[in-house]
Structures are given as C-alpha cells and as structure tokens.
Amino acid sequence: MEEVIIRETKVEDIADIIRVANQAFLEDARRPSVTGRSVVNGLRSFPKLQLVAEVNGEIAGFIVGNISGDRGKVALLAVSPKYWRKGVGTKLITELERRIKEMGGKEVTPGTPFARGFYEKVGYTCYEVEYKLIRELPYSVIPKMDSDLNPIRFEDLKKIVKTLGEKEALEFLRAFFSSFEIKGGKAYILSEKDEVKGIVVVAENKWNSDLLEITYFYPSEGDGVFDLLENIVIEASKMGYRWVGLRTRNEKLAKELMNRGWKEAHMPEFWTMYLMRKELK
Ligand SMILES: CC(C)(COP(=O)(O)OP(=O)(O)OC[C@H]1O[C@@H](n2cnc3c(N)ncnc32)[C@H](O)[C@@H]1OP(=O)(O)O)[C@@H](O)C(=O)NCCC(=O)NCCS
C-alpha cells in the first residue's frame, strides 16, 4: 500500500469527499446533501477537525469531527471501498482523537451506527443501545378497524400536563408542537372515563415516507404501553403506512415488543444505534 497522508480538509476537496461517501455508504444512506452540509459546517466551525486521507494524490477517505465542551464527536467517517481494511480509517480516527485531545476533549463518540466492528477495534465501547423497532403493517394482523384513540385538542393539554407531571409533560409538549410541522404529524389521547390512559405522538420519517414514527408515547412501560401501541398500529394502517417505528433505550420493553411482532430496524434512516464512546487518555 502506498503512503497514506492525513491532512486537513480544504474547500476544494468537497467534491471528492462526496464521491467517497457515495461509494462507501449503503445505497439508501447516500445523501450528498447531508454529507455536503456536514463538511461545510465542519469547515466553518471546526476546521482543524476536518481531515482527509490522501493516497497517491487521490482522496481515499475523510472524517468530519467536532467538539462541544470536553466531548468530541465523529460526525461522519468514510473510506473509499477500494481502500477498505488497509488501515486508512484507523489513521483518520487516530489523528482526529489526537486533535480533539489537544483541544481539551476527554472523550469521543461516533455519531453514526454503521460501523460497530470498526469502532470496537479502535477502542470504543458500547454503553447503551437505542433500539429502533418497526412493525410491518401489510403483514400484521390488525385486530380491529377502529382505534380507541382521539386526536388531542388544545383543551386536553391541561389535563395531560397534570397527569404527566412537569418534566414528562415537557417531553410530550416538545413532540406535540413539533408534530404540527412534520408531514403525518398527529397526537392522540387514549382516555377512560375522563382519565388519561395513554398519549402518543406520531410523525412521518423525514427520509422514508412509508414509515410513521412514534415520537412520543406514555406510558413508556408496563402493560398500558402495549394497548396504546396496538391502537396506533390501527391508525397507521388506516393512513396507509407500511411501517410503524419507535425508538427506546429500555431493553426490557424492546425485548417484549420483539416478542409481539416488532422487529429491530435495519434501515439506513432508522437503525438500532449502538451508542459508543472512547475515553481519551
Ligand atoms: C468503517 C470504515 C470507515 C473503516 O475504514 P477502513 O479504512 O476499512 O478501516 P481499517 O482498515 O482501519 O480497519 C481497522 C479494523 O476495523 C475493523 N473493521 C473495519 N471494517 C470493518 C467492517 N466492515 N466490519 C467489521 N470490522 C471492520 C477490522 O477489525 C479492521 O482491522 P483488520 O482489517 O485488521 O481486521 C469503512 O469501512 C467505511 O467507510 N464504511 C462505510 C461507511 C461507514 O460505515 N462509516 C462509518 C460510520 S460514519
């Protein structure tokens, strides 16, 4: 293998960087807009943390980093497939870590879920799993035609806030107000004799118009959650979506849902995330 030179990214490298990303990422994860913006933002805010690997004058890989307080982050990392498994990725991340440490960073976390094996090899450990679960609707047995959910009206908000308590209510309200701006955004309440039994907010996934994402649900565990989710499955099915998705860091809930027909998602736009980090020593 020829010499690999790691150097800071220049603006004129952007076209080559997009080419590398297009080759390296899974087909559905190829988003020049995302890569392009990420590199541009990186060059504007953290020029010292944008690096490319050059082999024979050709850009073979790149890394986009940033730092906030003492936490460094790998926003993007890719190596052109013809250079895979030759140590280029390791060289890029090692130099980024060195620079992050020099800037006062104490740890580094990768921002993407695609390369667990690589990150483990270079010293990262998984500290939490954010499960992304999906239920495929066309093949699901939908128990009935109508759900017991009703759209949330502004008049319901006081009652809901009282039920949830202040901290949880803020989580809900964030999802609730965001849902007004997102396609497919809707918020529902499940009540029994004027008592709040469940709340669920949904919105269409930004990248996949077949996927309706649950952006908030209450209760977040216990039997009540299954009743609530069955109801939203009915609603999503009526709306014509192919998948309903939810994210949770609660392993017990994830396992229970997988026993009930939900599956771990492996879509580039909705993928179980292994949250990893490495302490810089
Ligand atoms: C992940 C990636 C950057 C690794 O680059 P690379 O230059 O091939 O990495 P290295 O050669 O330094 O690999 C170091 C070690 O990581 C591990 N590794 C690398 N790629 C791996 C893979 N696809 N699966 C499992 N382990 C892998 C190996 O243990 C490897 O050592 P070995 O070759 O001696 O066995 C590259 O595969 C890539 O661009 N993938 C697609 C985009 C992506 O997933 N980016 C990361 C998230 S943003």
Residue 28 has pLDDT above 70, yes or no: no
For ligand 1, say whether the CB of 117 is within 6 Å of any of its atoms. yes
Largest separation between any pair of C-alpha atoms in the chain: 73
- The confidence score (pLDDT) of residue 121 equals 96
**CA geometry: angle at 274 spanning 272 and 275, to 5°?**
130
**Which amino acid residue places its CA nearest to atom 4 of ligand 1?**
89
**Which amino acid residue places its CA nearest to atom 12 of ligand 1?**
87
Q: Is the pLDDT higher at 167 or at 146?
A: 167
Residue 118 has pLDDT above 90, yes or no: yes
Structure tokens, 170: 């803020």
Tens of pLDDT, residue by residue over 197-241, are 999 999 999 889 999 999 999 999 888 999 999 999 999 999 999
Ligand 1 centroid–CA 116 distance in Å is: 9
- The confidence score (pLDDT) of residue 132 equals 95
**Which amino acid residue places its CA nearest to atom 32 of ligand 1?**
85
CA nearest neighbour of 122 among 82, 79, 81, 66: 79
34 band by pLDDT with thresholds 50, 70 and 90: confident
For ligand 1, say whether the CB of 89 is within 6 Å of any of its atoms. yes
**Which amino acid residue places its CA nearest to atom 31 of ligand 1?**
85
Residue 97 has pLDDT above 80, yes or no: yes
Domains of the chain, start order: 4-123 (3.40.630.30), 131-271 (3.40.630.30)
Spatial contact of 278 and 72, defined as CB atoms under 8 Å apart: no
Helix 223-239 and helix 251-259: axis angle, to 10°? 60
